[in-house]
Amino acid sequence: MAQAENHNSTWGKAIRAAVQNGRLSHAVILAGEGDKVQAARYIAAAHLCRADSGRPCLQCNACRKVLDRIHPDVTEVQDNERKELPVETIRALRQDAYIRPNEGEQKVYLFTDCAQLNERDQNVLLKIVEEGPPYAAFVFCADAVHALLPTIRSRCVELRMDAPPLDAEESEAAAELCRVIARREPLALTAHLTALENRRLKREQLLPMVEGAWQISADALLSRCGKPGACGEAARMLCHAFDRRQLQELTDLFRRYCDECQYNVGVGHVLGALGAELSKTLSL
Ligand SMILES: [Zn+2]
């Protein structure tokens, strides 16, 4: 049941789109309200699923083993006895990561409570997150992302589980942005972004707009790849205007800007940089 909810959530869709593009990050932070441990297993399933498409399928042998917590290549790292994980545990994990996977293509480590990782633990982990073997993947469940060192965070993609569903106005702003992009006219795009800035778009409105645009471009990409799915008008326009590679880059760009919106306070600055990158990426 929980996994069905994950499947339909905004971030669940984002995970499947990332797998589809071969771009599921090897290191993910799950933040925000929700059942993060279930979600972490969902991501582990995405890494190990054997289905040809729509990964994680939650049906195949590998997915079922992950969800039943019996997959030999998934390790849930936690210590029920202690408040913090002893550094020896992390050192052992680091060694374990260099032993090739048993059954799957990847080995996945789930940190079910990042509050258990003290600074020393994280410094030991950093090296392997940064330059571990290519098959090693990590999911960090964090009630407070600030529990993680900036050095670790900068190596991870952060997914918020409680991103609220877009309200009508915000989803319209995202759709409008995508429609303007689909027109492939640099001047129209600049004018649109400038108008947003002049209207004094608030920082709280910027993130939902960019997240909405990310979702729309991911839908357009899936549709381009021949995956049926709910595809709105704006996504169809993007799909007609750009090829698969461009849609992939557009999706990546919006995903990066979701981070940018969280860290960068200047709305005008973010919009300006977004406009410049969009024109470059899509050769408008
Ligand atoms: Zn599967």
DSSP annotation string for 49-116: ---SSSS--S-SHHHHHHHTT--TTEEEE--SS-SS--HHHHHHHHHHHTSPPSSSS-EEEEES-GGG
According to the model, what pLDDT value does residue 6 have?
Answer: 81
pLDDT: which is higher, 170 or 207: 207
Q: Can you read off the two tokens belonging to residue 172? A: 């319209």
Ligand 1 centroid to residue 110 C-alpha, Å: 18
Residue 140: which H helix or E strand, with range?
Answer: strand 136-142
* Predicted local distance difference test score (pLDDT) of residue 158: 85
Centre of ligand 1 from the C-alpha of residue 164, in Å: 27
Average pLDDT rounded to a whole number, residues 186-212: 87
Domains of the chain: 2-160 (3.40.50.300), 168-281 (1.20.272)
Q: Which two tokens stand for residue 52?
A: 């040809």
Confidence check: pLDDT of 204 > 80: no
pLDDT category, 264, cuts 50, 70, 90? low
Going from the C-alpha of 31 to that of each of 36, 164, 205, 248, the distances in angstroms are 8, 13, 20, 25
Q: 41 C-alpha vs ligand 1 centroid, how far in Å? A: 12
What integer pLDDT is reported at residue 217 of this predicted model?
92
Cα 267 to middle of ligand 1, angstroms = 40
70 Cα: distance to centroid of ligand 1 (angstroms): 14
User: Average pLDDT of the chain?
Assistant: 89
Q: What is the pLDDT of residues 101-149, one digit of tens each?
A: 999 999 999 999 999 999 999 999 999 999 999 999 999 999 988 889 9
Q: What pLDDT sits at residue 178?
A: 96
Q: Is the pTM of this model over 0.85?
A: no
Supply the pLDDT for residue 97. Answer: 96
Ligand 1 mean position, distance from CA 63 (Å): 4
Give me the percent of the chain exceeding a pLDDT of 70. Answer: 96
pLDDT for 144:
84
pLDDT of the residue at 230: 59
Is a pLDDT exceeding 70 seen at residue 278? yes
The whole-number pLDDT of residue 56 equals 94
pLDDT tens per residue, range 138-175: 999 999 888 899 899 988 888 888 766 666 777 889 99
DSSP annotation of 146: G
